Amino acid sequence: MTADPRLPARFPYGGDWCPEQWPAEVREADLDALQAIGVNTVTLGVFVWTQLHPAPGVYDLSLLEEIIEPVRRRGMQIVLATPTGAHPAWMARTQEVTRVDDQGRRRLFGVRHNSCPTSPAFRAAAAEIAGRIAERFGDLEGLVAWHIGNEYSGLCYCGSCAAAFRVWLQRKYGTIEELNRRWYTLFWNHTMTSFEDIVPPSALSEHWNGPAYTAFQIITLDYRRFQSEALLECFRLEKEAIRRHSPDVPVTANFMGFYKDIDYRRWAEDLDIISWDNYPRIGHGPARVALAHDLMRGLAPGKPLWLMEQTPSQTAWRPDNPLQEPGLLRLRTWQAIAHGADATLFFQMRASRGASEKFHGAILNHAARTDTRVVREVAQIGAEVAAARELAGTRPRNRVAVCVDWDAWWSLEMSDGPTRRVVYVDEIARFHEDLFDRGIGVDVVSPDADLAGYALILAPVLFVAGPERAANLARAVAAGAHLVTGFLSGRVDEDDQAPILDVPGHLAALCGVRVDETDSQVEGVTREIRWADGTITSADTVFDLVTPVDAEVRAAYADGFYAGSAAVTVREAGPGRVWYVGARLDAAGLRQLWDEVLGAPALAGIAAPRRPGLEQVERCRADASAPSYRFLLAHDGEHEVVLEEPATDLLSGQALPAGMRMRLAAPEVRVLRTAGDRT
């Protein structure tokens, strides 16, 4: 285990702290209390811009000095933020830095994340303050990461963005003729006679029912791409300013998992650490959370992965904010580590007294009590995660890939027809969930990534698939991979144009099918699906009438006027296989699908019995001689696991013999280190 200079000495545990909100004596007391329960890392300075830059031309970093000092004095690790997630009120008053919303309304000072991403004034001010902070604190002892801005998000529709969009388009398309061709502007008389004709797609132009309902998908799609990049440019400007003074400390920005408005994959190479904030929605179970971890990890396989935020207790911004049951926080923390996290941090160290997050969970509540359940649980986890430091450099290794693509997400969810009721990520998650129950780990990848090494590739609802993307998938299949795709895949290319091909377009030949018609039915209407083995399951919402061209029928509709028409097919494609799933299967249908897919001899090493409620993950190193780590996470029910090889219980330090029967009841966690001589 060689030391990575960028690797913190201790497994980062702690998180966001706002000492600027408290008097000095409270800061000291809080830090003492936090340190006593295992907190070794705090994130500072997220929302303090006005303190540092109280007027044009005036800078004063003394607040940072003051709040860093007690942390530094205790030898704790520091994540230092740039304060650019919320510009100063005076700046909003005196310069054009706020956004214009999709109704065309210039915003005033308020909330946060309110800065126009192309505003020259904002960009200059953000880079300036980031540079000044880096200049002063770039060599700060204990500084383990830079944290730029906060939860980048949202879109702007101002004149500056409109102008920048035109420049972006000119760069992308070169000529207005090429733009007209690729935008397909002969539809509805949208021919642009010059780039000047172009306005951002908004409620004032193309959006007739919010941004998901656009008269011109490609304009909206390009605007999303442009805005995601404009925000990335803001990040880059700050990072460059930091790098001039702090060349070695890793830089990150906190992502938000499956967040639609930013194409994180295009951002990932600019980050040194992938970090993100995990706030599972009510109803999203462990499979969905696991998928989000896998998405984040998959953005940059070689880079550290940090859980930058999770709540130690409950959220505040939702209509309902349930508590986490005893043990659930610990389970979620270890699930994060199992999926690759090299740090687990909380929002927040202590609850604010005022404004919109005052009831958000915190380690220390308003009364700063240390005898609460939350503090006890945080302390227990703190004592345990210290041991996770040795996992640095290990990663989960999976043979199954799930394709996720922002273009497909954006394009699918704004499509007029065939249906408005398929939600991109929900559909991905539905395909994934049964694999999760079988203990099959996945990597979430781009459909354009190098897919070599994956035995099974999921590409459901891959709405966007141009020729290169199709060729990439075909290459993987030619190399022996099994591919599962289906309805609402291959519908358009990257210009949001339907290919002059049978559905599923550039994927049609690969799938060996042709789809002339797709039925779409209102909520509540279902169709029976009869599988080759006689099993009957159900489907809803969307129904491709699949004509097998070079494929075998594995399931057919059993009712509706298209009874007998194929619904699920499989094509033997040399060493590989391609499944086409034409209908939105119910849970039983998906289980049947996976039984059939995984029944292939080529996937024998992947298939596992379903064990709902028990998640098993392994983290290991490329170097097979190194130890590997097996995580047993009991999310629900009680389970028995037999140890196949001797192991060490990482949390207790206890040695466990091979053959040992372990019983785990939810929410128990085991982390087993096994010797690395598996070559």
603 DSSP 8-state letter: G
Binding residues for a second copy restricted to 238-297, rule: CB under 8 A:
282
Residue 407 and residue 497 in contact, taking contact as beta carbons nearer than 8 Å: no
Looking at residues 85 to 144 of the shown chain, list those that interact with a second copy (rule: CB under 8 A): 85-90, 92-93, 103-112
Query: 193 or 679, CB closer to a second copy?
Result: 193
316 contacts: CB under 8 Å, gap ≥ 6: 356, 357, 358, 359, 360, 361
Selected binder of a second copy within 217, 228, 333, 537 (CB under 8 A) = 217
Please identify, using beta-carbon distances, which residue of 364 and 473 lies nearer to a second copy: 364
Within residues 374-413, the interface with a second copy by CB under 8 A covers 374
Positive or negative torsion for Cα 606, 607, 609, 611: positive
C-alpha of 449 from chain center: 17
| Whether residue 238 lies in the annotated active site | no
CB of 489 to a second copy, least distance (A): 14
Q: If binding is defined by CB under 8 A, does position 31 make contact with a second copy?
A: no
> 377 to each of 18, 38, 328, 343, how far by Cα in Å?
22, 11, 9, 17
Please answer whether residues 292 and 299 qualify as being in contact, where contact means their C-beta atoms are separated by less than 8 angstroms.
Answer: no
Rounded Cα distance between 223 and 482, Å, is 35
Stretch that binds a second copy, among 29-37, 210-218, 258-266, 476-484 (CB under 8 A): 210-218
Torsions phi, psi for 282 (to 5 deg):
-55, 130
Q: Within 543-602, which residues bind a second copy (CB under 8 A)?
A: 561
* Alpha carbon of residue 162 to chain centroid: 28
CA–CA gap between residue 129 and residue 108 (Å, rounded): 22
Q: Of 196 and 572, which has the nearer Cβ to a second copy?
A: 196
Residues of span 479-538 touching a second copy by CB under 8 A: 491-492, 495-503, 516-523
316 binds a second copy (CB under 8 A): yes
- 185 versus 537: smaller Cβ distance to a second copy: 185
Q: Are 143 and 78 in contact (CB under 8 A)?
A: yes
CA 39 from chain center: how many Å?
Answer: 26
Q: Pick one of 57, 247, 281, 320: the residue that binds a second copy (CB under 8 A).
A: 320
Q: Identify the residue among 12, 38, 83, 447 touching a second copy (CB under 8 A).
A: 83
Q: Which is nearer to a second copy, 378 or 492 (CB)?
A: 492
Closest distance between a second copy and the C-beta of residue 644, in Å? 34
Size, binding site for a second copy by CB under 8 A = 116
Nearer to a second copy, 40 or 348 (CB): 348
3 state SS for 226-280: HHHHHHHHHHHHHHHHHHCCCCCCCEECEECCCCCCCCHHHHHHHCCCEEEECCC
- Near a second copy by CB under 8 A, which window of 118-126, 354-362, 618-626, 671-679? 354-362
Query: In the stretch 438-457, what mask flags binding to a second copy with x, by CB under 8 A?
Result: --------------------
* 131 phi/psi in degrees, rounded to 5: -65, -40
Candidate list 421, 467, 532, 572; residue touching a second copy; CB under 8 A: 421
Minimum CB separation of residue 122 from a second copy in Å reads: 13
Query: Shortest distance, CB of residue 169 to a second copy, whole angstroms?
Result: 13
Under rule CB under 8 A, residue 218 binds a second copy: yes
Q: Which tokens belong to 434? A: 């049964």
The nearest distance, CB 191 to a second copy, in angstroms, is: 4
Q: Give, for 541, the enclosing helix (H) or strand (E).
A: strand 536-548
Which region, judged by CB under 8 A, interacts with a second copy, from 284-292, 351-359, 597-605, 618-626? 351-359
Which one of 238, 309, 494, 615 is the catalytic residue? 309
**Would you say 73 or 318 has its CB closer to a second copy?**
318
Single out the catalytic residue among 151, 377, 427, 596: 151
End-to-end CA distance of the chain: 17
Give the whole-angstrom CA distance, residue 328 versus residue 175: 56
Query: Of 52 and 305, which has the nearer Cβ to a second copy?
Result: 52
DSSP secondary structure of 51-100: HH--BTTB--THHHHHHHHHHHHTT-EEEEE-STTS--HHHHHHSS-B-B
Please list the alpha-helical segments (H only) found in 446-526. Answer: 467-478, 508-511
- Name residues contacting a second copy, limited to 44-63 (CB under 8 A): 47-51, 54-55
Report residue 367 as tokens. 């009364």
CB of 502 to a second copy, least distance (A): 5
d(CA 373, CA 361): 12
CA-to-CA distance for 287 and 613, rounded, in angstroms? 10
Which of 48/553 has CB closer to a second copy? 48
Site for a second copy in 165-204 (CB under 8 A): 183-184, 186-194, 196-199, 201-204
Judged by CB, which is closer to a second copy: 372, or 535?
A: 372
Judged by CB under 8 A, does residue 358 bind a second copy? yes
Is 372 one of the binding residues for a second copy (CB under 8 A)?
A: yes
Contact 385, 399 (CB under 8 A): no
* 310 token code pair: 């999770």
Sign of the Cα torsion 476, 480, 484, 490 reads positive
Give least dist CB 427 to a second copy, A: 16
Exposure on the CB side of residue 260, measured as CA atoms within 13 A:
15
Q: How far apart are CA 120 and CA 52, in angstroms?
A: 20
Q: In this complex, which beta carbon is closest to a second copy, that of residue 206 or of residue 434?
A: 206
Q: Could you tell me which stretch among 84-92, 297-305, 569-577, 615-623 binds a second copy (CB under 8 A)?
A: 84-92
Which of 326, 453, 467, 564 binds a second copy (CB under 8 A)? It is: 326
Q: Min. distance of Cβ 341 from a second copy in angstroms?
A: 26
Q: Exactly one of 228, 252, 344, 415 binds a second copy (CB under 8 A); which one? A: 415
Q: Does 20 bind a second copy (CB under 8 A)?
A: yes
Q: How far is CA 271 from the centre of its chain?
A: 14
Q: Which amino acid does the sequence have at 196?
A: E
Beta bridge partners of 42: 15, 78
151 is catalytic: yes
Question: Known catalytic residues?
Answer: 151, 309
